[in-house]
Amino acid sequence: MILDSSYLFDLIEGDPEALRTGEELTDAGEVQWLPTPVVAEVYYGVVYTASEEERRQVENALLGYPRVDVDEAIARTASTLLAEADRETGGNSGVETNDAYIGAVAEILDEPVLTANPDDFDALGIDVQTY
């Protein structure tokens, strides 16, 4: 399972459905991968709010997840996914570059993205799981 920032934010905020989903994934022994672009999105929020409490919560929430770094294969796959989505819509698809990177990780690892915001990943043709 590839974790999206929307899921992590909901998890940090104690959303019951996010917590239930996390417990189910853990109980099932499902590896929950954390792409480094998600780390960037989450830390942006920490820096923006300048909250020491939020920084601690984020750091604690991220501790247990194995990271997936962006490499050349992921970068090429992200570019392909984004270009195909843009071409499909006849222009800018509205998909953010970070979501293309996250989608590329999902494509390469053949895993769905766990998200509360499936639209961008749907536009990229990436399987999603919501909660």
Band of pLDDT at residue 54, cut at 50, 70 and 90: confident
Q: What is the mean pLDDT of residues 9-38?
A: 96
Does 34 score more than 90 pLDDT? Answer: yes
* Number of neighbours of residue 7 by Cβ within 10 angstroms: 26
Does 24 score more than 90 pLDDT? Answer: yes
**What's the pLDDT score for residue 92?**
95
Q: Report the distance separating Cα 86 and Cα 11, nearest Å.
A: 31
Q: Report the distance separating Cα 14 and Cα 57, nearest Å.
A: 11
**What's the pLDDT score for residue 3?**
98
Q: What is the mean pLDDT of residues 35-61?
A: 88
The greatest distance separating any two alpha carbons of the chain, rounded to the nearest whole angstrom, comes to 44
Residue with the larger pLDDT of the pair 13 and 111: 111
Does 55 score more than 90 pLDDT? Answer: no
Lowest mean pLDDT of 24-33, 46-55, 64-73, name the range. 46-55
Q: How much of the chain is helix, strand and coil, in % rounded to 5?
A: 60, 10, 30
Angle among Cα 74, 75, 76 to the nearest 5 degrees reads: 90
Predicted confidence (pLDDT) per residue in 63-109, tens digit: 889 999 999 999 999 999 999 999 999 999 999 999 999 999 999 99
pTM over 0.75: yes
